[in-house]
Every structure is written in structure tokens, then in C-alpha cells.
């Protein structure tokens, strides 16, 4: 493997210390919302017991040949409920019939090898033994059974095995300059060693439990925090300082938000979803001008999107407000805005509605047929409807404005991207506001 995968590149220690300190103090970052969450440690025992059930059922040939309804689904679902960084942990274990992966449902030998890994790691005391068991599994080259298994192993050995997902890999690569790839056990083990080195270097600010540094990498990789620049350019350092200062601590999430998981979504993540859906449907996509450089999973939101709006839109009345709408979909190679989306994650709904009105009522024929969507957590429905009762918004009844709940967007976005056409699917999962 290439050296730049095995060894993370050096960064300025003072800048990383500053980043970690700001992250630790942020009530909306994973350190306080997940790592210090009082229920986190209580879940270790139940998850370990669940892993033992999976092993026992496989050994007694009672596991079955499907993920749905299995003991593995139960335990992975429990892990996925561990707040932000394990969201989507079940994706790697879902059966993909066309690819026949992960190949532990139809292949009895592979299934037993999977159980053997879990059992051996449960009993292991020495870290070298854990790594040997992982390498033995990797040698079997079981299709689709990659480092996502580390999320199970983390709950067995949190001081030796870090959690794993796309955002954590992206965060590690951004922070160290490494080129770790998904789906590879050797790459995961190389990243693990790099994480241990970083954790040792900043131990006084992190923890022996690798969940802490895993949460830091997750927040970097998901775009909440920018990684320090890897070069010594004064300009790069200045830009990083600006981005870091722009991160504002979120309000402490309410009990209701924690319960339904809406605090795990971010404004930036929803914008990225809408961007990707729009591009998959064949539209040109515009990201709000002030969000072009905002990062999602280590990549600027505006990547692959329009750099400027068409001249007719820029010269229309209310153009400045239009430029700040979170996401616009335009008919390809035209000046027609097909849909506009304002993401109302936690900020005032009033300003978002005003921007939509400016677009709809600017007198430009190219915005007459634009579909308008307020995208918000399910819990904010009453807030949205309450705002629309204000006399200032009496013209709303004349417009094509709808509410698009996070839950509907999350549930259907993959299907829309694969099978959708035009605006029909988005309109189907949205709700009339009046």
C-alpha cells in the first residue's frame, strides 16, 4: 500500500489543538451530543449481548438466510440508534440481491466465518489477536463484508477499534492528507494506526475510548468543521481561521429532537441531498452564494453546480435574495428555475419565506412556474403553518409552495435519484401548506 495511506501527513499541532478545543466546547458537535451522552455507555452491554446472540444463532444454524428479521438486524439497528456517527450503520449489512452482497446470508461458510470473527474478538484480550482475526477474515475475501464490521467491533473493544463510516474516512483524509479508501480492510487498519497516533498525540483533549476521535473525524468529514490546511501558505491558514470562526455552536437539542433523531441532520447535509437529487434528475443546480465553500463530507457544496446564475435571473428584481436561496434547480442549459428549496433547519422560517416570495413575485416570467419548497424537520410543521398565517404572507395562496419534511426526503431520496423523472416524485412526497 502507498506510504501516504499508511502514514498521515503532519499538520500544525497548535491548529489541531484549537480545532479540538472548539469542537469539545460546541454543544451541537458529537463530543457533547453523543460521546458524553449519558446513555452511550449503557448501550455497550446490550450491544455486546446482542452480538453474542448473533454468534450463537449462526453456530446453531438458526440464523436463517435473510437480514430482515434476523438477530443481526436487531443489533445493527441498536447501533444505528447511537446518534450521529452511527446513522446509516445498517446500510452495509442490507442484502443487495443484484450484487449478492454481503455474502453472509446465502453462503453458510461465509456466515460462519463472520460469526467466528465476532466470537474470537469478543474473547480476545490482546490487540494483536484482534488484528489477526480481522486479517484472517479479510483473507477469505467475502464479497461485501468490509470494514463496516468495525462498528460491531468498536462496541467490543472501544480502546482498540475506532468506529467507521464514510464521513469518518473523509475526515481522516482531510485532517492528515492520507488517501484511505472505503471497503478495504488494509486501508481501515492503516487508518486505525493513524487514528491511534493522533489520539496519543492529543490524548489530554480526547480519550482512550476511540469514539471521541471518531466523533471529531465525523464532524470534519461531514462538513461541520474544516480541517486545518496541509500546507504552510499564510493565505490558506487565514482562510481556515475564517471558516473555523464561522462555525457557530448549535443550541442544545430539545428532548423531542433527540428522540426523533432530527438533531442528527444538518442544514448542509440537507442541501447536499437536494443538490444530488437535482443533478440525478438532470437539472442544473445552484447552491446559495454564501454556501458555495461550505463543506459536506470534505467536499464543497457547490462542486459540480452552477458557478453563476443566468444573466436574466441576476438582473431581475430581488436577484440578491434569489442568489441566497439554499438550492435552486434549473432546466438544463436554460434560464428557467424549475424548483426552489429553502432549508429551515433551526433558523427563523420568516426570512426563508421572504426569499421565496421575492423569487416568485419578481415579475420575471421565468419564475412563474417555479415550484417552491420549504424543507424542514417534521417537528417544525406547526411553526411553518403559523408563519404562513401572518398577513404579510397573504399572497402565498397564489403560489406553488409546499412543505417537504426531512423524513420523507430521507426515506425516498435514493429511489428518486435512481428511478425519478421530473418534479413528480418530489411533489408526491411534499405537503400542501394551505
CATH code of the domain covering residue 373 = 3.40.91
Average pLDDT along the chain: 84
Q: Please give the pLDDT value at position 129.
A: 96
Asked if 168 and 214 touch (Cβ cutoff 8 Å), the reply is yes
Residue 130 and residue 275 in one domain: no
Higher pLDDT, 322 or 10: 322
Provide the pLDDT for residue 265: 66
pLDDT attached to residue 388: 73
> Grid coordinates in use for 224?
461541520
The answer to whether position 35 is within a domain reads: no
H or E element at residue 328: strand 327-330
Max mean pLDDT among 9-13, 160-164, 299-303, 345-349 falls in: 160-164
Instruction: pLDDT band for 364, please (50, 70, 90 cuts).
Output: low
Residue 410 in any domain: the answer is yes
Residue 114, pLDDT > 90, answer yes
Separation between Cα atoms, residue 172 and residue 227, nearest integer Å:
9
Residue 260 has pLDDT above 70, yes or no: no
Same domain membership, residue 414 and residue 274: yes
Decide if 174 is inside a domain. no
Answer yes or no: is 162 within a domain.
no
* Residues 141 and 273 reside in one and the same domain: no
Provide the domain limits for residue 336. 265-432
pLDDT exceeds cutoff 80 at 332: yes
Look at residue 330 and tell me whether its pLDDT is greater than 80: yes
Place of cell 431520496: 413
Predicted confidence at residue 398, as pLDDT, reads 67
Domain stops at, among 154, 183, 198: 154
- Flag whether 145 is in a domain: yes
Q: Which of 152, 175, 188 is nearest to 1 (CA)?
A: 188
In a domain? residue 6: no
Residues 150 and 270 in one domain: no
Number of domains comprising the chain = 2
Q: What SS3 state is found at 397?
A: helix
Q: Which of 102, 133, 154 is the last residue of a domain?
A: 154
Q: Among 154, 187, 209, which residue terminates a domain?
A: 154
Q: In terms of domains, do 281 and 144 share one?
A: no
At 346 the pLDDT is: 63
Pull the grid cell for residue 179: 488517501
pLDDT attached to residue 11: 46
Q: Is residue 179 part of a domain?
A: no
| Preceding amide of 102 cis, omega within 30 | yes
- Assess if residue 348 is contained within a domain: yes
Amino acid at each position: 500500500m502507498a506510504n501516504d495511506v499508511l502514514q498521515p501527513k503532519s499538520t500544525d499541532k497548535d491548529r489541531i489543538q484549537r480545532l479540538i478545543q472548539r469542537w469539545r466546547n460546541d454543544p451541537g458537535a458529537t463530543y457533547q451530543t453523543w460521546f458524553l451522552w449519558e446513555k452511550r455507555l449503557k448501550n455497550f452491554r446490550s450491544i455486546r449481548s446482542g452480538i453474542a446472540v448473533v454468534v450463537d444463532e449462526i453456530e446453531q444454524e438458526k440464523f436463517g438466510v435473510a437480514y430482515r428479521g434476523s438477530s443481526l438486524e436487531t443489533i445493527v439497528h441498536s447501533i444505528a440508534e447511537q446518534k450521529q456517527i452511527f446513522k446509516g450503520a445498517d446500510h452495509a449489512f442490507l442484502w443487495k440481491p443484484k450484487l449478492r452482497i454481503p455474502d453472509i446470508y446465502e453462503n453458510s461458510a461465509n456466515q460462519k466465518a463472520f460469526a467466528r470473527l465476532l466470537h474470537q474478538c469478543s474473547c480476545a484480550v490482546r490487540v494483536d489477536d484482534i488484528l489477526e482475526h480481522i486479517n484472517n477474515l479479510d483473507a477469505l475475501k467475502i464479497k461485501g463484508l468490509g470494514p463496516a464490521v468495525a462498528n460491531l467491533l468498536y462496541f467490543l473493544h472501544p480502546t482498540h477499534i475506532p468506529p467507521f463510516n464514510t464521513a469518518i474516512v473523509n475526515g481522516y483524509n482531510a485532517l492528515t492528507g492520507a488517501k484511505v479508501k472505503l471497503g478495504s480492510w488494509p486501508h481501515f487498519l492503516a487508518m486505525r494506526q493513524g487514528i491511534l497516533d493522533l489520539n496519543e498525540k492529543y490524548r489530554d483533549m480526547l480519550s482512550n475510548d476511540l469514539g471521541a476521535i471518531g466523533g471529531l473525524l465525523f464532524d470534519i468529514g461531514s462538513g461541520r468543521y474544516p480541517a486545518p490546511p496541509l500546507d504552510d501558505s499564510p493565505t490558506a491558514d487565514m482562510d481556515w481561521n475564517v471558516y473555523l470562526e464561522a462555525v457557530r455552536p448549535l443550541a442544545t437539542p430539545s428532548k423531542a429532537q433527540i428522540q426523533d433523531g432530527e438533531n442528527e441532520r444538518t442544514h448542509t447535509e440537507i442541501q447536499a441531498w437536494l443538490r444530488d437529487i437535482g443533478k440525478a434528475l438532470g437539472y442544473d443546480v445552484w447552491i446559495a452564494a454564501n454556501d458555495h465553500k461550505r463543506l459536506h463530507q470534505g467536499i464543497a457544496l457547490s462542486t459540480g453546480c452552477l458557478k453563476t446564475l443566468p444573466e436574466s435571473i441576476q438582473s431581475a428584481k430581488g436577484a440578491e435574495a434569489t442568489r441566497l436561496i439554499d438550492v435552486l434547480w434549473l432546466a438544463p442549459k436554460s434560464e428557467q428555475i424549475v424548483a426552489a428549496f429553502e432549508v429551515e433547519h433551526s433558523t427563523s422560517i420568516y426570512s426563508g419565506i421572504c426569499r421565496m416570495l421575492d423569487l416568485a413575485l419578481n415579475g420575471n416570467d421565468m419564475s412563474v412556474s417555479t415550484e417552491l419548497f420549504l424543507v424542514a424537520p417534521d417537528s417544525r410543521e406547526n411553526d411553518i403553518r403559523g408563519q404562513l398565517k401572518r398577513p404579510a404572507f397573504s399572497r402565498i395562496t397564489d403560489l406553488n409552495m409546499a412543505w417537504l419534511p426531512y423524513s420523507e426526503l430521507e426515506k425516498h431520496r435514493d429511489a428518486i435519484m435512481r428511478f425519478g423523472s421530473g418534479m413528480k416524485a418530489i411533489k408526491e412526497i411534499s405537503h400542501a401548506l394551505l
